[in-house]
Amino acid sequence: MLRLTKKADYGLMALKYLAEQSANGAQSAKDIAEAYHIPPQLLAKILQTLAKGGLLVSHAGTNGGYSLSRPATEITAFEVIRAIDGPLFITSCITIHGTCDLTSHCTIKEPLRKVNDSIKDLLSGIKIDDLIETEPVGQIGAGAPMGGGLVSIAL
C-alpha cells in the first residue's frame, strides 16, 4: 500500500485552507490548526518546511501568518508532497543515488519506474485549487480531521 504521510496530508490541507482564505490575507498557523484539528506544533513545522520549499510566504508581525507563494492553480500536490517528504520513490531501486546492486539482474526495475512516473504525473496534475470544496471548512466531516491520504494505491 502506498500512502501519504500524515505530514503530507496536513500540508495539503493547509495549502487548501490558504487557497480558500486567500482573499482574507495571511492566515496564522493557529487558525489552520483549529480549522482542521491538527496539532499546532506539528503544523507550524510543516508550514515552515513549505515556506523554505518556496510554496508559502511567511509574513511576520501582528497580522502575520502564511499565504501561498503562487496562485492555487499553479501549485501541485506533487510539489507539496516532495517539499515535505522528499522525492517520491515506490521502490528502493529507483533513488536519487542511482541504481542498486541488483540492476544488472533485475527484471522489475523498468515496470516499477513506469508506475513511479505515473504516480508522479498524477500528483503533478492535481492542483491545490482542485482540492477546494464548495462547503465551508466548518461543515466538513463534523469536526473530524480531513485527510487520510489523497493517494492510497494498492500495489
Is residue 81 included in any domain, yes or no?
Answer: yes
Contacts of 79 (CB under 8 A, 6+ apart): 53, 55, 124
**Which residues constitute the domain of residue 34?**
2-87+129-144
Three cell numbers written together for 21: 482564505
CATH number at residue 74: 1.10.10.10
Per-residue model confidence (pLDDT) at position 143: 44
User: Rounded to an integer, what distance in angstroms lies between the CA atom of residue 62 and that of residue 81?
Assistant: 30
pTM more than 0.85: no
Grouping H, G, I as helix, E, B as strand and the rest as coil, residue 17 is helix
- For 8-48, what is each residue's pLDDT tens digit? 999 999 999 999 999 899 999 999 999 999 999 999 999 99
Q: Widest CA span of the chain, in angstroms?
A: 60
Is residue 71 included in any domain, yes or no?
Answer: yes
Three cell numbers written together for 148: 487520510
- For 90-115, what is each residue's pLDDT tens digit? 776 655 555 666 667 778 778 888 88
- For 69-95, what is each residue's pLDDT tens digit? 999 999 999 999 999 998 877 776 655
132: left (phi over 0), alpha (psi -120 to 50) or beta: beta
Number of structural domains in the chain: 1
Is residue 13 included in any domain, yes or no?
Answer: yes
Is residue 112 included in any domain, yes or no?
Answer: no
